[in-house]
Chains A and B, each alone.
Chain A
């Protein structure tokens, strides 16, 4: 300890850097704990039963329809995005030859897609689905927009999970006389499943937290949709509406708590599955 201190005295640069490193770590950890803690502490007392009534009225500002919509929206988005994402990743990981032109283009477009801000997705969905296809503000416009948005995330995590499956699995399967297709579906996909699920759950997290892409595609009607062409609001959009009206800070606190709890559960699930993959 003493020699360490002596060393730092002789090297002011090192001491300064050490202090800065510790300071940043303290700031980061402090900010994390403060954000999560503050919202939970201030929000939980605002969790009143009328916020969870089945019908939304302007008096109760119930978030129950928004919660149901969030679940429906997530399911519908995943139904579209997961097959496309997983099949694309299978092509990239199992079929593509290294350096082929089409693969390069696919990778470039996936990177582009993952960099596009959600508000641009929102405007695209607005122009393409709401206006051009005349679906109005609707559940389905929102779901397709979100599906395109989470596609790169699912593709990347699935591809990583597939590549992490040892080649000996493939060779063993071929050695037993199985074809490529059979090997993929019976051997590789099951082995990569935890990794794929971890990615899908991360995608769920993005869907749950998304606001900007949904306001102009799915709209803000606070009711459970009658069909896929009715407007609907998810929990994050609900929170935006509460805040932009400026009258419902208490309700916004409660909504933030629900969102935060959802995100915590989603993240815990995802990292649990990812850990399972590395153990295997």
Chain B
């Protein structure tokens, strides 16, 4: 083996080692989160922790059920608002948008994806909260406000992913349907969308992941009361905001309980990821 070959082989392994870094990262993250979260869960009791409805760290009551429900409500609200609009926008960009408008809209969708979540939170605080206040005469912060804001925030994800999957559907589907006498809209919704179903599904799941993991924007507009919301207007605290709100001053079991909250969130995300890879596998 001459020196050149040796160099090639060594570098191949160097690349491989770097590539394995992501595996190491996932293992280390899982290890740290679970090792720190599970003992607290065991101490509090899994049932008391996951299904307890009282979160009073001062009295050693650590039930995160209201936060789990809160996260689910807010995420569901965001999906109800974001998915139809995002999907229809993707249809618009693919089939209706004039070229000149497209050249303007496409980069702005990218920009919308790049706006920091703290700026979104600020926007929600100064615009959406007062509007809800005026319309419903409440405090303004709550499930509805958070859902609207998150719905806007997941738009770019949904638009970009579903647009590319719509474009990947063979043109013949659309043209064949038109040739059979269907209207443009009917062709899009009955032929193209059905063909691009799995791509649209993965767009939805990606949006779901983004919505459930969002922290800084939600914290500004959700009200953050640790109780199960009674209506769409009442304040709500999500798993993510629970962590940020109390981590700064938490100690001992309280801190471990917050880490355990993150573990629950982490497990949610892992489940969503598994769903996503199942959708993708069906695609290929």
Contacts and interface: CB of A to CB of B under 8 A. Distances in A.
A binds B: yes
Interface of A: 7-8, 11, 13-15, 17-18, 20-25, 27-29, 31-33, 35-36, 38-39, 83-84, 87-88, 90-92, 94-96, 102, 105-106, 108-113, 115-121, 123-124, 126-128, 132, 148, 151-152, 155, 179-181, 202, 205, 208-212, 215-216, 236, 239-240, 243, 249, 252, 256, 259-260, 263-264, 266-268, 270-271
Nearest to A152: B22
Contacts of B15: 87-88, 90-91, 94-95
Nearest to A271: B107
B52 to A, nearest CB: 21
B212 to A, nearest CB: 7
Interface string B147-181: 00000100100010000000000000000000000
Interface of B is mostly: helix
Given A124-B32, A205-B114, 14 more contacts: A25-B96, A28-B155, A32-B109, A38-B127, A95-B12, A110-B22, A111-B273, A115-B272, A127-B32, A128-B28, A132-B32, A151-B22, A212-B117, A239-B122
Interface string B106-140: 01111110111111111101110000000000000
Interface string B35-64: 010000000000000000000000000000
Scoring A84, A109, A121, A208 by chain B CB atoms within 10 A of each residue's CB, the highest score goes to: A109
B26 interface: yes
Given A92-B19, A109-B22, A259-B116, A14 B184 contact: yes
B96 A7 contact: no
Contact of A112 (B32, B88, B89, B273): B273
A236 B116 CA distance: 8
Given A113-B25, A263-B111, A28 B85 contact: yes
B21 A124 contact: no
B107 A87 contact: no
Contacts of A8: 183
A21 to B, nearest CB: 5
Given A109-B22, A115-B273, A180-B8, A31 B152 contact: yes
A24 B89 contact: yes
A126 B258 CA distance: 12
B107 to A, nearest CB: 6
A31, A119, A127, A263: residue with the most chain B Cβ atoms closer than 10 Å: A119
B116 A263 contact: yes
Interface of B: 4, 7-8, 11-12, 14-16, 18-23, 25-26, 28-29, 32-33, 36, 84-86, 88-89, 91-93, 96-97, 105, 107-112, 114-123, 125-127, 152, 155, 159, 183-186, 188-189, 209, 212-216, 220, 240, 243-244, 247-248, 258-259, 262, 265-266, 269-270, 272-273, 276-277
Contacts of B216: 211-212, 240
B184 A106 contact: no
Nearest to B239: A119
B110 A18 contact: no
Contact of B266 (A31, A116, A126, A181): A116
A127 B33 CA distance: 8
B266 A211 contact: no
A216 B247 contact: yes
A13 B215 contact: no
Contacts of B86: 24, 28
Nearest to B105: A29
21 contacts: A14-B184, A18-B184, A25-B92, A39-B119, A115-B269, A115-B276, A117-B212, A119-B213, A120-B266, A123-B247, A148-B25, A179-B8, A209-B117, A211-B116, A216-B248, A243-B122, A252-B122, A260-B115, A263-B114, A264-B111, A267-B114
A117 B105 contact: no
